[in-house]
Structure 1
Amino acid sequence: MVGAGLGGLAAAARLSTAGHRVTVLEQSDRVGGKLGWFERDGHGFDTGPSLVTLPAVYRALFTATGAPLEDRVELVRLDPAVHYRFADGTPLVMPGALDRVPGAMDDALGDGAGAQWSALLGRAAAMWRVSEGPFLRTPLQGAATLARLARNPADVTTVAPWQTLRGLGGAYLRHPHLRTLLDRYATYSGSDPRRAPAVLATVPYVEQAFGSWYVRGGLHRLGEAVADRAAERGAVLRLGCTVRQVLIEGGRAAGVELAGGERVPADVVVSGADATALYADLVPGDRRTRRARRDLARARPSLSGFVLLLALCGRTPGLGHHTVLFPEDYDAEFDAVFGRGGPPRPVADPTVYVSAPDDAALRPDADSESWFVLVNAPRHDPAGGMDWDAPGLAGRYADRVLDVLARRGLDVRDRVRWRVVRTPADLERETGSVGGSIYGTSSNGARAAFLRPANASPVPGLFLVGGSAHPGGGLPLVALSAEIVAGLVGPA
């Protein structure tokens, strides 16, 4: 197993339970991959995902590998789920239960807003029923995958693969704030709503129908719990081990070679590394991967993120667990991130996302807060004109983000004890994700999902798991990728 990200750990737990002897090789000194954690002076921060959606996926993982999830972590359903504030100052407090969402929208945005959103989610629910089984829980098989979706013409009409998320919003949502809200869900796959497929409307449906959940003590504990489960089932976790190449013998994967020269033989290699890095660096030159490399080159990389970890003194009245502050011109943000109208560039007036759990485990005392602040950002690509390591850039942009927060009503500049800045370049260095792309490739374009690398590689015995492979990034999907890979490998 290459990499101890959450997808790799989940695959290790399943494969160990199935009787395989599993060794997990992780380059860093901790498990979890992008499900990171930072702690200093009693302040703690999740540095990756900040909520769990579709928790049934993890409950199924733990049940299948020995004992319930709740034996290891405490899941807390968030209610309210998110505090939104639009550019004109309009607030929307999103309830944590689907049946209360329409009323909250009517209260915030006027009569009829809730009915518009409910109609959209009705369509999204139908999309979810059509696509969940044949796509999200099944290996990607090119034309065969399309054929499964196309057996019923009504299903094709429901999913509308020709329509964008922005187009779907225009068909259902008259209120501009609702369209802005829907656009945000494209970023859950690192994408642009003007190009992302309409089926991404399933993301808000899943979030609101099945809830937004927090792990008490921080989401990093979920990664630790999955690692512990894999170890209990017999997996060996080796940290500080950088894989230099996948060994190919007799035309199939036969193990890996580490940076120090050690060879680790294996009948099967499962890679949780970024797919672009895998095919470019770990199995370079194999003619069988030519098509996979070509598809990755044709796909648009996902956006990245610019992060501030803020250790604050004092408390913020009425602060939600999650707060999203929208800009005046959302399209300008996507133009900057994806390089429309010029090279990719930092967003001048970004959407700002704040995660500030009211969790005593994340702060040193009752009169303090620990904020994870994220803005969408272009990936680190010096050759393409976006160099996040340019002298002074990170500090200047951090100041700008704090100024934007202040203009939108959350001025914490005089409360900062200290801050840590993390750029897309830092994410690339820490996780191996090329350019710091959070989700590998984006979902920009109707064919984007089918350009995402399949779980079974063209090299026999080599499998892909995690956010850069099918079915995609995000906590639920990486666990589903592990389930798919375990099924492809089969029992020992």
Structure 2
Amino acid sequence: MARIVVVGAGVGGLATAARLAATGHEVTVFERADTVGGKLGRHVHDTPAGPFHFDTGPSLLTLPEVFADLFEATGAKLDEYLDLTPLDPIVRHVFPDGSTLDSCADPAEFAARIGATLGDRAAADWQRLWRRAARVWAASSRDVLRRPIDSPRDLAALAWRLGDLTAIAPGRTLRGLGRRHLTDPRLRMLLDRYATYTGADPRRAPAALVAVPYAELTYGGWYLRGGLGTLADALLSRCLDLGVVVQTGTTVTRIDAAGGRVHAVRLAGVTAPVPADVVVANCDALTLYRDLLPSPRRLAGLTDRSLAGFVLLLGVAGASGLAHHNVYFPADYDAEFDAVFGDPGRGVRARPAADPTVLVTVADDPLVRPDGHEAWFVLVNAARQGTSTGAVDWRRPGLAQAYADRVLEVLAARGVDVRDRLLFQEIRTPADLDASTGAPGGAIYGTAGGLLRPANRGPVHGLWLVGGSGHPGGGLPMVTLSAQIVATDIGPAA
């Protein structure tokens, strides 16, 4: 039985802790925040009408079988803890010309909806792309997403062995794939948005990310009654039932690893180190290799630019008639990415996008809002917090409120004006996400955006990296798969 310390009680950390405890290990989780869940955050705003509950992180659960497997591996059933509700539409897409397309988990039905809205040629284009996406998904889900990938050579070797290089198209971008297969600019826009699921720019993101919409639109999108934050509650409950010790409000400041292997972790305000045979870091790779266990070689590889998000939490009187997830696209998608990412090579600074894509999530759930009201989560892509060319200093006085006003103006221009129905408005900037979760710069999916992430196995014996910053990437199912990879690699107690 190993003494295992998990640094961070996000979904990846809790899932890893539960799996390891179920196989006989002694597991302790240290979380710097006062609550568990990490980026799977929650917020309650009380009003005379009643409380409004918000998910401040993920708002969609995909690949539910990944979570069913996690609970079964720890001796429980998913439906004993969580109430899953399938969504149709999964996302309502509203394009610049006013046309609307609702996605769903039935490929034939979605193709029919495309045909009805965008025309038969667009539907045929999508079905041709879908066949290619199926091949990419089959390759990645079988041999990439569930096993360690320690280097680009490992990924290339797998692709050669699978014989799927034609579908995966190494060297081609997601934008290039869309232009090759899709003639309708609205479908190209829809496909581009999936690059942002990994924090990436579609003009630079690899074409293999076509597997992301395939997974969502084949296996469905789900809501958890009471909010996505109930997943954190369920994982904490499993951990405690299995004997995991979870200490919140406890900050790990250092990992001791003399002689090429981990020995202990250091806690803020505590003199004596906490012994550990194994350390699982559920934090950003940048935090791990810059602060907890400085590793210049690993740190040098974290150069990808990743998206952050600007968020409004709105209490709205009355009913809007919106879908659960609604995406309002701008007339010029490229202008948004130019603003959000900037161009440090040419000295072009990142900035708040003047006409951004706006995601509005409205859960039709009486558990999260007073009767006769709606709790709106509004998200736009944003540059990370910072003062460098590729970042924005969101702490600058007046900026957050001015941009919040601009986002509401954009929504109004696109036919969704709620400014006269607002009970309250709260703002969450990338600086706030950085402060609350330790995500460097407020990067939603980790500082290493894109397809290839830092390896799960660390540079010293007994160290592993779990969560959205590492392989296989960000998002709830990928983070949960990273926990499976790490727990399998560590193995059961002897």
2:312, 2:427 within 8 Å by CA — same for their partners in 1? yes
User: What pairs with 1:264-279 in structure 2 (closer than 5 Å)?
Assistant: 264-279=274-289
Identity %: 54
The answer for the alignment partner of 2:290 in structure 1 is: 280
C-alpha distance in 2 between matches for 1:255 and 1:392: 44
The answer for the alignment partner of 1:88 in structure 2 is: 97
Q: 2:35 aligned with 1:30, yes or no?
A: yes
User: What pairs with 1:254-273 in structure 2 (closer than 5 Å)?
Assistant: 254-262=263-271, 263-273=273-283
The answer for the alignment partner of 1:347 in structure 2 is: 353
User: What pairs with 1:132-143 in structure 2 (closer than 5 Å)?
Assistant: 132-142=141-151, 143=153
AA paired with 1:485?
V
Q: Which residue of the other structure, out of 205, 208, 229, is the alignment partner of 1:196?
A: 205
Q: 2:489 aligned with 1:488, yes or no?
A: yes
2:286, 2:447 within 8 Å by CA — same for their partners in 1? no
User: What pairs with 1:170-181 in structure 2 (closer than 5 Å)?
Assistant: 170-181=179-190
The answer for the alignment partner of 2:474 in structure 1 is: 473
1:79, 1:97 within 8 Å by CA — same for their partners in 2? no
C-alpha distance in 1 between matches for 2:78 and 2:159: 32
The answer for the alignment partner of 2:323 in structure 1 is: 320
User: What pairs with 1:235-254 in structure 2 (closer than 5 Å)?
Assistant: 235-254=244-263
1:12, 1:22 within 8 Å by CA — same for their partners in 2? yes
The answer for the alignment partner of 1:16 in structure 2 is: 21
The answer for the alignment partner of 2:438 in structure 1 is: 432
AA paired with 2:309?
G
Q: 2:126 aligned with 1:117, yes or no?
A: yes
Any idea what SS the aligned residue of 2:208 has? Answer: helix
Any idea what SS the aligned residue of 1:438 has? Answer: coil
Q: 1:280 to 1:442 in 2, by over 3 A?
A: closer
Cα distance, 1:166 vs structure 2: 0.7
C-alpha distance in 2 between matches for 1:249 and 1:441: 27
C-alpha distance in 2 between matches for 1:251 and 1:95: 50
For residues 370-428 of structure 1, what are the alpha-carbon distances to aligned partners after superposition, in whole Å with 9 as ceiling and x for unaligned? Answer: 00000000000124352000000000000000000100011000111111100000000
Any idea what SS the aligned residue of 1:146 has? Answer: helix
The answer for the alignment partner of 1:151 in structure 2 is: 161
Q: Which residue of the other structure, out of 222, 239, 263, is the alignment partner of 1:230?
A: 239
Cα distance, 1:144 vs structure 2: 2.9
Q: 2:399 aligned with 1:393, yes or no?
A: yes
For residues 233-280 of structure 1, what are the alpha-carbon distances to aligned partners after superposition, in whole Å with 9 as ceiling and x for unaligned? Answer: 111110000111112234311121111124211110000011101110
Superposition TM-score, scaled by structure 2 size: 0.95
AA paired with 2:63?
L
Q: Which residue of the other structure, out of 313, 333, 340, is the alignment partner of 1:309?
A: 313
Q: 1:192 to 1:442 in 2, by over 3 A?
A: farther
Cα distance, 1:96 vs structure 2: 3.8
C-alpha distance in 2 between matches for 1:303 and 1:359: 29
C-alpha distance in 1 between matches for 2:150 and 2:261: 20
Cα distance, 1:64 vs structure 2: 0.6
Superposition TM-score, scaled by structure 1 size: 0.95
Count of residues in Structure 1 that have an aligned counterpart in Structure 2? 478
Tell me which moved more, 136-145 or 342-351.
136-145
AA paired with 1:271?
A
AA paired with 1:432?
G
CA RMSD between the two structures: 1.2
The answer for the alignment partner of 2:3 in structure 1 is: none
User: What pairs with 1:58-77 in structure 2 (closer than 5 Å)?
Assistant: 58-77=67-86
1:303, 1:442 within 8 Å by CA — same for their partners in 2? no
Any idea what SS the aligned residue of 1:417 has? Answer: strand
C-alpha distance in 2 between matches for 1:74 and 1:241: 31
AA paired with 2:123?
G
Cα distance, 1:443 vs structure 2: 4.1
Structure 1 residue ranges without an equivalent (≥5): none
AA paired with 1:39?
V
For residues 99-157 of structure 1, what are the alpha-carbon distances to aligned partners after superposition, in whole Å with 9 as ceiling and x for unaligned? Answer: 210111111112222221111111001001112222111101222332122124x3111
